[in-house]
Structure 1
Amino acid sequence: MIIGIDLGTTNSAVGVWRDGKAELIPNSLGHLLTPSAVSLDETTGEVLVGLAARERQSTHPDLTATAFKRYMGASRPTKLGKRTFLPEELSALVLRRLADDAAAHLGQPVTEAVITVPAYFNDKQRKATRRAGELAGLKVERLLNEPTAAALAYGIHELDDESRFLVFDLGGGTFDVSVLEIFEGVIEVRASTGDNRLGGEDFNQVLIEAFGKAMGDRLSPAQRADPHLRERIRAAAERARRALTDGAAASMAVTWKDESFEHGFTADAFEEMCSGLLTRLRDPVLRALRDAGLRADGLQEIVMVGGATRMPVVRRSLTRMFGRFPSNAVDPDQAVALGAAVQAGLKARDTALKEVVLTDVCPYSLGVEISERGPGGMVRHGVFSPIIERNTVIPASRIQVYSTMEANQRQVKLPIYQGESRAVIDNIRLGELDVAVPAAPAGEIAIEVRFSYDINGLLEVDVHVPKTGERRELVIADEDVMSGPDFQKRREALAALKHHPRDADVNRAVLARAARCYEDSLGDQRHFIGQHLDRFTFILERQDPREIEHGRAELTQVLDQFEGATWL
């Protein structure tokens, strides 16, 4: 049995596809949402997961962990009593509880799962999530981006007409924006961006800081440092934020050592206090539209997902941004888990589901560290050179050519990074390759570097020195994936992509036809065909399949106008 899991920062949920529809599975308490909380009972040594753990957060803060999803992929241990846990280990405990609840409800063992992740999770965060699934005893069939899961929950995959949607996903700890296009049974992610350090918890923090400021000297530094009081204030902030969802005012009230502390907030004051966070929500939306090459009026629907989107300040901000109301057709707390269940049904090839193809994009740019020689011969080291740029549709394979920097250089080091910063020090290092080169004048030896990346995060780096035929290869993937039975199949699938688009038969045929028409024409006509030929050649070098398809159609149309349609 395969299930779909939304592993959330605040709450998690599990779903299944059966009897022709997606449904959420209640936990042992009958709730559809399970708090992503883990607590240790030092008396019995028992590990508590879910609501029982969350209820201990204010009374046993040193024994309880929440919001650990924010630290996935980081070496940030959490100490609970005498035991220490990594974020993926805490996540594994939540996943195991969800799987056990699902098995009890379904009456059969659960061994496989589709697990959702924020679209903007980087390579390390995705691998940590996969490890969490493996630690929980699950075979992770796929890591599905949360906005894509939300699209499936909204039934976007069942639409027949070509449509474009923006999914705005604001959860407890992470924020994602994805632009999706649907056409002919294909859901294609056009762009994804976001902020892995922005969510409902940050809006709580605004209230916490305002509360602390209002209390002034009534709270001493020692009291403010007490973890028990901090957790009570945090819980009061959460309650106040939720109250502001439906009301015009709310108050934070905390009782500590026989003393009461209370402060009230209006909805308007809260919105003003959150202005900085609302700006942080706006920037990724604009970036996603820019990367997708779309205007806001080119979107059919704005889909809101994640519990934090219930806040009126967020809904008003998004409404002002787009000049229309976003859709709320599906419960924002449940959409991602329901979409994961739909994907589980697709994986199981359920006959009730219409065949749909999901494509995704690379959330961060992938490239190598290079050195550049500037004016006056000054050399700048540590420069990031992207090879597969962010929001490239995957699986993808791209190639770049570099050359030696120094005369008689005998070796080239190629550190591999993921990120967007011009300086590699601000990006994430994934690995390194060394390749031997023959001694020659500076810049004379070319080094071809090819990156091939698939939907599950498998990155193959191939380096070729044409002068000597020297080849080096590095595979970057999770260790569990590399030892899995389908690893070789995935590598074979990537191998099929390792051809430059200009070498594809369909493109070679169009290029040959254009070259012939150029030779057959004169004057303005020759210049016109030459311009379009140069444009298509340039598009091929960018290696974007969608752009190549449009460019080829445009060049073919020009040639048809010149000499009529091609015949066979």
Structure 2
Amino acid sequence: MARVGIDLGTSNSLISYWNGDSAKLIPNALGDYLTPSAVSMADDGAIIVGQPALDRLITHPERSVASFKRWMGTDHQVKLKGKQWRAEELSAIILKSLKEDAEAFLNEKVTDVVISVPAYFSDPQRKATLNAAHLAGLNVSRLINEPTAAALAHGLEATAEGQFLVLDLGGGTFDVSLLHKFDGVMEICASSGDSLLGGNDFRDALSRFILAKHKLAFESLQSAEKQRILKEATALKKVLTDRAECEYRIEWRQTLLEGRLMRQEVEEVWQPLISRLRKPIERVIRDAGVSTSSIDQIVLVGGASRMPLVRNLVTRLFGRFPLIHPKPDHAIAIGAAIQAALHARDGALDEIIMTDVCPFTLGISAKNAAYTLEEAVMSPIIERNATVPQSREQFYSTVHERQQKIDVAVYQGENLRPSQNILIGRIEVPVPPDKAGHQSIGVRFTYDVNGALEVEVRVMSTGEAHRKVFNNQSGLSEAELERRFAELANIKTAPRDQQENIAIIARAERLYAEHIGESRDEISAILMEFLSSLNSQTLRDVDQLRASFTQKLNAFETGWNSPL
């Protein structure tokens, strides 16, 4: 059975496998390792995934969607071709596509996988990820925190022992973990992060900055125009990673937007985001109780970690240069495959022990009899960064005369006020009527490596116990999950052997939308020529046809890459 790991990302997703002595990435139908986390609906109702779906965000914005990972664990829905879609379903489509890529590459069925999630994903977000996997026909043997996966990929390669700080800045999330490696054990000491901060936020800020230069407001744009400027800003962000300045030229509404951008001025625009990056880093150092000088290496992973501003921030904070992972986009998927091999007790990894932590505080809402305050407060039972699996118990007493029941409300979060934290669920426990404070309960929390929480409440005077496992708090009932699973199974996807044609046609249509005048006419002509040749009964070499068409399209793919 294949040992498979998946990095289900906000911008891109990857799948990898353990080949017996190392983890290897699996290419998709287009031969790429990175599959954009984008979904689009074709005219005939077929689902299009990946790069062609990303291109269709510009040409068919009402039928396309991306960056839906940020909706995981919420009731947010998007309408595509007359149907409402949740983030779980859209993520399931990506997972299903990755599954098909792996089965085609490995020539065997893929069922059991390890999936990475941001360390700071809440309980509902983790359960939504599990639901997405279920909808895709996958069994998740383990959810692994993204910086933990990156640390595992780095730790396996690193020969030295010591403390390593892993900073993972992806497209939509930022995670930080402190790893202690010693005597064959890789222990996560502390984790923190921001699940609403990533490379896309830098892209969005840059988009607004460029539009402001031309007295345009992002909110006033049509859907296709918004996607167009976001795509261009993504390309520009990459250019400014390698250059101190660059020029841009955008054909826009029958006119031309052009100008020059300096990296320094753009970094000033990004300063509020950089300030947000500091907080999780400082929290991890504080929670782990270590000094910055005791950290042996700082490792940067995630595609957005390539930005010089991020590297400069880390250098200033720690007084030394960070270690840049050679392929920051790949590290998490590699680590997930290693974890899959560990879970399967692969002989090559017998000597490696990996521990992880609970990223959030788990507790209940309780009143303190020592104070006259009527408002309940958060009473922690398992505090953040406790090693998992973890089991802890706290005791509570009744607060009212003749009280007959206790409502145990379970929360996740760091705020003193329960209302500001995430409600995971409730257990109502009957108690014998008695004087206030005379009846007590023991509340035990047991938290496992996948983020499943079991709560046991014991009435001390009677010994009666009530247990509940909170493992489906994502807003979907089991019946709703099965209904949506059946619906997804009946939806057709574009044939795998047609993916290259779909992708190149979507690219041509996107270039047509981006250009005006003679360029647009030329793109239209070569697209019609390609489609005509593709449908010709005399076609002998489709690969040569695609190569020739691609070469012609390359001449129009200028984007932000204008020379200085």
Alignment of 1:30-109 (within 5 A): 30-41=31-42, 43-109=43-109
- 2:29 aligns with 28
- 1:438 aligns with 432
Q: Does 1:387 align with 2:381?
A: yes
SS at 1:363's partner residue?
coil
- 2:12 aligns with 11
Alpha-carbon shift at residue 157 of structure 1 (Å): 3.6
- 1:118 aligns with 118
The change in CA–CA distance for 1:141 and 1:270 in structure 2 (over 3 A counts) is same
The change in CA–CA distance for 1:112 and 1:471 in structure 2 (over 3 A counts) is closer
Alpha-carbon shift at residue 255 of structure 1 (Å): 2.1
Alpha-carbon shift at residue 380 of structure 1 (Å): 2.6
Alpha-carbon shift at residue 91 of structure 1 (Å): 0.7
The change in CA–CA distance for 1:63 and 1:408 in structure 2 (over 3 A counts) is same
Alpha-carbon shift at residue 351 of structure 1 (Å): 2.4
1:134-155 CA-to-partner distances (Å, cap 9, x unmatched) read 111111111111111112222x
The change in CA–CA distance for 1:213 and 1:160 in structure 2 (over 3 A counts) is closer
Structure-1 separation of matches of 2:158 and 2:211: 50
1:393-432 CA-to-partner distances (Å, cap 9, x unmatched) read 0111111111111122221111111111111111111111
- 2:491 aligns with none
1:265-319 CA-to-partner distances (Å, cap 9, x unmatched) read 2111111111111110011000001111111111111111100000111111111
The change in CA–CA distance for 1:221 and 1:310 in structure 2 (over 3 A counts) is closer
The change in CA–CA distance for 1:267 and 1:161 in structure 2 (over 3 A counts) is closer
Structure-1 separation of matches of 2:217 and 2:330: 41
Name the count of aligned residue pairs: 476
**Maintained 8 Å contact 2:301/2:325:** no
**Maintained 8 Å contact 2:163/2:180:** yes
Gaps of 5+ in 1: 484-568
Structure-1 separation of matches of 2:438 and 2:111: 55
Alpha-carbon shift at residue 198 of structure 1 (Å): 0.2
Alpha-carbon shift at residue 373 of structure 1 (Å): 5.1
Structure-2 separation of matches of 1:352 and 1:470: 47
- 1:172 aligns with 171
Opposite residue 226 of structure 1, the aligned amino acid is Q
Structure-2 separation of matches of 1:394 and 1:188: 11
1:233-268 CA-to-partner distances (Å, cap 9, x unmatched) read 111111111110001113444322211123432111
Opposite residue 112 of structure 1, the aligned amino acid is D
- 1:552 aligns with none
Q: Does 1:206 align with 2:200?
A: no
Structure-2 separation of matches of 1:415 and 1:114: 31
**Maintained 8 Å contact 2:390/2:448:** yes
**Maintained 8 Å contact 2:365/2:377:** yes
When structure 1 is superposed on structure 2, of 467-476 and 78-87 the one drifting more is 467-476
When structure 1 is superposed on structure 2, of 199-208 and 221-230 the one drifting more is 221-230
Structure-2 separation of matches of 1:482 and 1:402: 33
Structure-2 separation of matches of 1:223 and 1:413: 45
Structure-2 separation of matches of 1:99 and 1:115: 12
Opposite residue 382 of structure 2, the aligned amino acid is I
1:189-234 CA-to-partner distances (Å, cap 9, x unmatched) read 1111000000001101111121222112xxx679823111111111
**Maintained 8 Å contact 2:211/2:217:** no
Alpha-carbon shift at residue 336 of structure 1 (Å): 0.7
Alignment of 1:532-547 (within 5 A): none
> Out of 302, 308, 313, which is 2:304 matched to?
308
**Maintained 8 Å contact 1:59/1:228:** yes
Alignment of 1:207-246 (within 5 A): 207-216=206-215, 224-246=220-242
Structure-1 separation of matches of 2:29 and 2:21: 24
Q: Does 1:144 align with 2:140?
A: no
Identity within the alignment, %: 46
Gaps of 5+ in 2: 480-564
1:466-514 CA-to-partner distances (Å, cap 9, x unmatched) read 223232222211399999xxxxxxxxxxxxxxxxxxxxxxxxxxxxxxx
SS at 1:74's partner residue?
coil
When structure 1 is superposed on structure 2, of 339-348 and 358-367 the one drifting more is 339-348
Alpha-carbon shift at residue 464 of structure 1 (Å): 1.7
Alpha-carbon shift at residue 67 of structure 1 (Å): 0.5
**Maintained 8 Å contact 2:444/2:456:** yes
1:128-175 CA-to-partner distances (Å, cap 9, x unmatched) read 111111111111111111111112222x14667641111000000000
Opposite residue 246 of structure 1, the aligned amino acid is D
Structure-1 separation of matches of 2:279 and 2:259: 32
SS at 1:379's partner residue?
coil
1:8-32 CA-to-partner distances (Å, cap 9, x unmatched) read 1111111111141111111111111
Structure-2 separation of matches of 1:111 and 1:404: 48
- 1:288 aligns with 284
Structure-1 separation of matches of 2:256 and 2:171: 28
The change in CA–CA distance for 1:382 and 1:225 in structure 2 (over 3 A counts) is farther
SS at 2:375's partner residue?
strand
- 1:254 aligns with 250
Structure-2 separation of matches of 1:253 and 1:470: 72
The change in CA–CA distance for 1:76 and 1:468 in structure 2 (over 3 A counts) is same
Structure-2 separation of matches of 1:297 and 1:25: 39
SS at 1:53's partner residue?
helix
- 1:184 aligns with 183
Opposite residue 82 of structure 2, the aligned amino acid is K
SS at 2:163's partner residue?
strand
Structure-1 separation of matches of 2:478 and 2:178: 31
**Maintained 8 Å contact 1:163/1:181:** yes
**Maintained 8 Å contact 1:224/1:230:** no
**Maintained 8 Å contact 2:366/2:378:** yes
Structure-2 separation of matches of 1:315 and 1:421: 31
Which protein has greater RCO, CA pairs closer than 8 Å, 6+ apart? 2
Normalising by the residue count of structure 2, what TM-score does the alignment of the two structures yield? 0.81
1:426-466 CA-to-partner distances (Å, cap 9, x unmatched) read 11111111122223332232221111111112211111222
Structure-2 separation of matches of 1:244 and 1:62: 31
Structure-2 separation of matches of 1:325 and 1:160: 19
SS at 1:352's partner residue?
helix
Opposite residue 236 of structure 1, the aligned amino acid is E
Opposite residue 172 of structure 1, the aligned amino acid is G
SS at 1:380's partner residue?
coil
> Out of 396, 400, 403, which is 1:406 matched to?
400
> Out of 424, 443, 454, which is 1:449 matched to?
443
- 1:533 aligns with none
Structure-2 separation of matches of 1:117 and 1:16: 17
**Maintained 8 Å contact 2:325/2:331:** no
Structure-1 separation of matches of 2:77 and 2:249: 32
The change in CA–CA distance for 1:3 and 1:178 in structure 2 (over 3 A counts) is same
Structure-2 separation of matches of 1:221 and 1:451: 49
Alpha-carbon shift at residue 329 of structure 1 (Å): 3.8
- 2:409 aligns with 415
Opposite residue 383 of structure 2, the aligned amino acid is E
SS at 2:17's partner residue?
strand
Normalising by the residue count of structure 1, what TM-score does the alignment of the two structures yield? 0.80
